[in-house]
Structure 1
Amino acid sequence: MLGTDLCPNSLWQAYSWCYAYFPNGEIFYTVGIAALCWAIWTCRNGVTFESKRLQTPFECYFSMCAFLGYWAGLLKQEDAVDLRTGVDMLKNSASRLMRICAATKD
């Protein structure tokens, strides 16, 4: 969903991946990785403990976007605007990918 086949295997690789794909967003790397981990964790808890069924992996992805959008309020105004702009770009990208995936199922 993030546009790559290269998946990091450690925190250091995750930071390297962020630097490669988001070269001007260093201040957002930690919050982005935290949001992704928290989204995976909450989705896992929903499936494991609440017997929820994930309809699509995009649920975790959009949960990550929701966390990032919410946490943007903790940043300085100009940084918050940049993060929210990035979140909108991520959501638009995922929405396009969802449409492509839905079209291939038909």
Structure 2
Amino acid sequence: MVANALSRAMEGQSASLYLLSMHRFVFLDDLRKELDSLSTFIDLSYRIQEDSAAYLDYTLTEGLILHRGRIWLPSNSSFIKLLLEEFHQSPTGGHIGIQKTLH
């Protein structure tokens, strides 16, 4: 017969490990700081708060505006270029054929 691993465990010894793991995207903190300084974001946030019935596809969540569940960015956000570069030029992005030349 083959003994299983639990039957071979030493008695009297106990160990406990408690771990809480949470995702924290640092870039979201930077994004919130930028958005708080952009008048288009501030204006839309105010309009959503004042008349949510007129903006049914928008929600305010943790300092961000979500449009149909996705983060909304004003056209003048510097994060648009950053995100496009990250997700189109990175090895895991959608366009693997594009390579960035480093000098």
Task: Provide TM-score, normalisation by structure 2.
Answer: 0.29
Structure number with higher strand proportion? 2
- Structure showing greater relative contact order (alpha-carbon pairs closer than 8 Å, 6 or more residues apart): 1
Report the TM-score, using the length of structure 1 for normalisation.
0.28
Higher fraction of helix: 1
